[in-house]
Amino acid sequence: MRAIGMGKEVRLRTPLDESAVRDLSIGDIVHLDGKAFAIAYAFQFQRALDELKGGKPLPMDLEGSAILHFPTCFKEEGGRWRIVYFGPTTSSKFNKVTPEFIRAFKIRAIVGKGGMDDAVMAAMMEVGCAFLQAIGGCAVIYTKGVEEITNVYWQERHWTYAVVELKLRDFGPLIVTMDVKGRRLGKEERGP
């Protein structure tokens, strides 16, 4: 494993500009502002792809967005959603469905934990998407970076599996561990 120092610190707004993502290098520290989606179950990624293929209009606009592999705890209060807490889960659980998902929705950033496999890397390099590592176990820091939950989708199975649309404000720190040049920081991992 190559030791690498810290890179530049950048604050980016979503939807992310492709050139801004291509400028990111491993070791850079990113904070995000703007719209993002928390999706933490493989079957929800698959559902989005299936509905797109079936020609069904999706209830949310995923095009060019940032995806957070963050299981989310929220509460409905007076017709609005309040975030209780959220934080990163292991991203390699979504290796299989992610290359197609990145290509289909032109995803610009994936925020998670532990990196993803080479097929995901290939899709990231092609589309212009970076993997941003969140620090595991830091639910308080990341929850503070959520201004509000703007919508919640696909709760049929159970609310804990929902796709959550968020508005982020100074959300981070996130460390670039897979960049568009195909470089990695740390080793790829599997499992939860």
Partner 1 sequence: MPITRELLFDVAVELFERATRSVPSDTLEALEKALKTETNELARYVLAMMLKNARMASESNTVVCQDTGLPTFFLKIGTDVEIEADVKKVLAEAVEKVSLEFPYRAAFVHPIFRDSAPLIVGGGIPIVICDTLPRADFIEIAMSPQPSGPEFWSRIEMISPPSDPLGAVKGFVLETVNRAGGAACPPMVVGVGLGGDMGEVAKLAKLASIRPINERNPDPELASLEEEMRALLNGTGIGPMGLGGDTTVLAVNIEVEYCMKAWLPMAVCLRCWTNRRARARIYNDGRVEHL
Does residue 191 bind partner 1 (CB under 8 A)? yes
Residue 3 or residue 19: which is nearer to partner 1 going by CB? Answer: 3
Identity at 120, one-letter amino acid code: V
Query: How far is 45 from 41, CA to CA, in rounded Å?
Result: 7
CB 27 within 8 A of CB 175: yes
Residue 150 or residue 160: which is nearer to partner 1 going by CB? Answer: 160
Please report, for residues 60, 116, 161, the alpha-carbon distance to residue 56 in angstroms, rounded to integers and kept in the order given. 12, 29, 21
Does residue 160 bind partner 1 (CB under 8 A)? yes
Choices 49-57, 88-96, 102-110, 145-153; region in contact with partner 1 by CB under 8 A: 88-96
Residues 94-153 touching partner 1, rule: CB under 8 A, are 113-115, 133, 135-141, 143-144
Pick from 54, 78, 79, 192 the residue near partner 1 by CB under 8 A. Answer: 192
Does residue 5 bind partner 1 (CB under 8 A)? yes
Identity at 141, one-letter amino acid code: I
CB 12 within 8 A of CB 31: yes
Write b or e for each residue in 54-69: b if 16 or more Cβ atoms lie within 10 A of its Cβ, otherwise e.
Answer: eeeeeebebebbbbbb
Instruction: Tell me the site size for partner 1, rule CB under 8 A.
Output: 47
Does residue 82 bind partner 1 (CB under 8 A)? no
Does residue 71 bind partner 1 (CB under 8 A)? yes
Does residue 182 bind partner 1 (CB under 8 A)? no
Cβ-based neighbour number of residue 94 at 10 Å: 23
The dihedral formed by the CA atoms of 7, 11, 16 and 19, expressed in degrees to the nearest 10:
-50
Choices 11-19, 57-65, 68-76, 123-131; region in contact with partner 1 by CB under 8 A: 68-76
- Interaction site with partner 1 (CB under 8 A): 1-6, 27, 29, 70-73, 75, 84-90, 92, 113-115, 133, 135-141, 143-144, 157-158, 160, 173, 175, 177, 185-187, 189-192
